Structure 1
């Protein structure tokens, strides 16, 4: 009787069940969310250590074997050790250390991690271990998240079309059809999250690279307002556009990540703009009835029959019907007549040389390379990058010294004002359009249209845009619906995206990475 009472005490007071009560199995991992995992932990059904091991088993079975997704650059050798530490703290206090306690996260390998290499996908940076964490990484660790792996990317984050790097042989592959692209550059993160290699993921987006991979892998991708999330410790491509953000299987999980990573950072001055604009929690805007009465503007300039796949076009029109069925007032359509002219008028001004050299300097005296020129001289990068790197290095002017710099800034401001005017005049809360007007391309196909709509609005304006699963074309090829909003309108985007997700439930896991059987589970990773 005494032993029984002690067991009850462990379960109800400490939230820890005895070993015999553990009932969390591989099948429960499929499509697990932060909430469901925390409930399982608090009910004593799973520990952080067991959770990490289950994800490691899936990585072992499916990343370099089976469907060979090739999404992971490196598994964190200390993931299980960190999980045990968190389990000990939970056992001692009965409390989760933070909102991401014990949650395994996939991190794109351009975020600095003090205890693992940060390669940016580049062989030349294979041994680069930063002196400290990126601001966002520090935030997620403090919240209790466990970095389970660093994921593959388009090297230097230079491609929004595919994820290939010199740090790994071959391309990252789409779990829904392994002959097709993951998009880029955060394709490794997206492939890993959709295949349930981790609960949540972090990507970066300069032109397309959170929303593109999210769309191609039936995921939720948040590109936040520029200035909401610090870029400190993220290897840069173009600081006028770069931002980080979550890639997750559900809107709620993405919101829980955003709650942790949003905020002012003195090391990234653009985040000053966010002060006073961040609510206590974004979770308060998770309203499944949020579409009722909402005015949604259709941005058909992004999706016309002549420049889109017929199945994607039909799926988008179906999504508009779904919005109406959920109570939205759909304004079809909203236009910015000058959009094409503006986007064709921007001068190409390389920022990589200046921005990346500053990043290399931040790595301290132990950095394997001190300049972009040194990386180019090493030849340790993917051949497809050579011209881009040489062109960036050859342009010795500071970006601001280019005669087109002022023109570009004026065009950006003009586009901002035109979009705000169009939204205000039609009284719409957001604009919607497909993230891509075509399905995922075959790997290696650079001839057929990619159909990306991710570059035109959000990157040049800095306004937020979220991609949410819209369904599938050709049976199993995912498509995403994009919600575009005003600056710092994340609460509105969350409300509408969540309501759409809850009304439709389009997300379905890929067949290529099913629940792991005991037979496949035999080669366990032990740390």
Structure 2
């Protein structure tokens, strides 16, 4: 069942919440070879499910998500369960509180099945982990392929039918990349400048960047993602929107690096959209790449060193330091990248100041103008330039080739289309566009103006009905 189907079946009395939870827990253990999960919440999940069943039998009104099992990425606080960040220094860290988003979902009746695997410290896009307790997550559509990241475990758990929905986090693509590679849907909500424009409160989440990080819901369908978003924001569930008359921007810079198989799937999806009345507006965003190069990583490297100590202090772990975490990092790619977090110099401080006050505002102004001047509702692109590539079990993340070209950086390639919108804080969704001839999922992405989250979800629901969902992996 999808999340939407499950909550309706439980509310109607056609499905016992306890039976559903027990079934999913058993299935999760049976497919444990995918390494989707780091820890389980069996006893508590069953206890909460029983209480939901009792509430329904008493005739009381059920909350929106009553009985819905979810998984939570292991950098999001869950009281009583470890929040490991898939890194050795935090293997046994148990926070004293739930994250704000987890509280919202639990109050809406959701049941936490357990904590999902992730790329160590959310610092990568493969979820190929070298920490023994986390391990290498594997794609349900082809277990030799990577799952994306950093919310890879949540993506796998939903694709492999361990749970119908869950939470990831997204700094530069970490919800949308694994959603795309595992054939599901995901939302990166509006963050804007990290202040009043932010859609979700980020309290209780192991941070990288307070001006870029956000929790994002993931589900089998966009309808499921809209359901989770409604529970988090305490608003009505987004409905479908007409496709006829929709204007979608097609910037060349989002399409100039795309694998031929991915491009073929995207063109087929776009032909269906055009037939349904969508207009494509081919106008570029010419300065996005150069501005992003001066902004994105400078924000993360500077803010992680400031934000992590505050998070640990608020979560009841005053003995954990950034230096202690860095010393124990297991992934080679994370260890190399994290060194920049520890470096403090006047030059780095100035680069950060420029990123915040000059380059990111310039990027945001360009995006705002793009939507307004061209009267486009959203930007459409492949979520990732490639489908899932083979797991690199030696290095974790290395190089890839586009259409037989020279080797290029894997990380930079996979974040290519997700990162610009993340830097300026606009919302983005991904949903399945189709599959390659080899049976690998391909994601189609929409980025919209700040605050257009409900409209994006509504468009995504309509696109999903037109394009269809993917067949289940053979788990």
TM-score, structure 2 normalization: 0.90
**1:180 aligns to what SS in structure 2?**
coil
Deviation per CA, 1:420-472: give whole Å up to 9, x if none.
Answer: 22222221111100001111111016211444234432111100010110001
Task: Point out 4+ residue stretches in structure 1 off by more than 6 angstroms.
Answer: none
Aligned-partner Cα distance in 2 for 1:338–1:118: 39
Distance 2:344 2:294 in 1: 20
How big is the alpha-carbon RMSD for the aligned residues of Structure 1 and Structure 2?
2.0
Partners of 1:220 and 1:248 within 8 A in 2 = yes
Partner of 1:225: 190
Answering whether residue 470 of structure 2 is matched by residue 507 of structure 1, we say yes
Equivalent position SS for 1:202: strand
- Pair member with larger Rg: 1
Shift of 1:88: 1.7
2:2 matched residue in structure 1: 33
Which of 58, 81, 84 in structure 1 is aligned with 2:47?
81
Match of residue 240, structure 2, among 260, 278, 286: 286
Does the CA contact (< 8 Å) of 2:221 and 2:469 recur in 1? no
Q: Which residue of 2 aligns with 1:182?
A: 147
Distance 1:423 1:38 in 2: 36
What is aligned with 2:267?
Answer: 317
1:79-478 mapped onto 2 (5 Å cutoff): 79-96=45-62, 98-164=63-129, 166=131, 168=133, 170-226=135-191, 227-262=198-233, 280-283=235-238, 285-287=239-241, 290-304=242-256, 307-331=257-281, 333-346=282-295, 348-349=297-298, 350=301, 351-364=303-316, 367=317, 369-377=319-327, 379=328, 381-395=330-344, 402-409=349-356, 410-444=358-392, 446-449=398-401, 450=410, 451-452=413-414, 453-478=416-441
1:493 is paired with a residue whose SS is helix
1:94-148 superposed Cα distances (whole Å, 9 cap, x missing partner): 431x111000001101110112111111222122111111000111110000001
Work out whether 1:54 is the aligned partner of 2:46: no
Q: 1:384: how far off?
A: 4.0
SS at match of 1:471: strand
8 Å Cα contact 2:117/2:134 also seen in 1:
no
Structure 1 position 262, deviation (Å): 2.8
TM-score (norm 1): 0.81
For 1:348 and 1:136, the matched residues in 2 are separated by 26
Residue 35 of structure 1 deviates from its aligned partner by 3.0
Q: How far apart are 1:207 and its partner, in Å?
A: 0.6
Q: Which deviates the most, 451-460 or 416-425? A: 451-460
Aligned 8 A contact 2:4 2:227 in 1? no
Tell me, yes or no, if the aligned pair for 2:152 and 2:178 is still in contact at 8 Å.
Answer: yes
Secondary structure in 1 aligned to 2:167?
strand
Q: What is the deviation of 1:247? A: 0.8
Distance 1:192 1:252 in 2: 18
Task: Find the aligned partners of 1:165 and 1:242 in 2 and give their Cα distance.
Answer: 24
Report the Cα distance in structure 1 between the residues aligned to 2:296 and 2:107, rounded to whole angstroms. 41
Provide the secondary structure at the position in 1 that maps to 2:143: strand
Q: Deviations over 1:185-242 (max 9, x none)?
A: 0000000001110111100001110000000011111001001011100000122210
1:179 alignment partner, SS class: coil
Q: Mark the runs of 5 or more structure 2 residues left unpaired by the alignment.
A: 192-197, 402-409
- Residue among 425, 443, 448 paired with 1:485: 448
In 2, the alpha carbon distance for the partners of 1:345 and 1:369 equals 34
- Per-residue deviation at 1:314? 1.7
> Equivalents in 1 of 2:331, 2:384: separation in Å?
26
Q: Residues 376 and 504 of structure 1: is their aligned pair in 2 closer, same or farther, counting only changes over 3 Å?
A: closer
1:376/1:320 CA distance change after superposition, 3 Å: closer
1:390–1:328 distance in 2 versus 1, CA, 3 Å: closer
8 Å contact kept, 2:175–2:186:
yes
Count of residues paired in the alignment? 449
For the residue of structure 1 that corresponds to 2:71, the secondary structure is strand
Q: Match of 2:195?
A: none
Call closer, same or farther: CA 1:478–1:466 in 2, change over 3 Å.
Answer: same
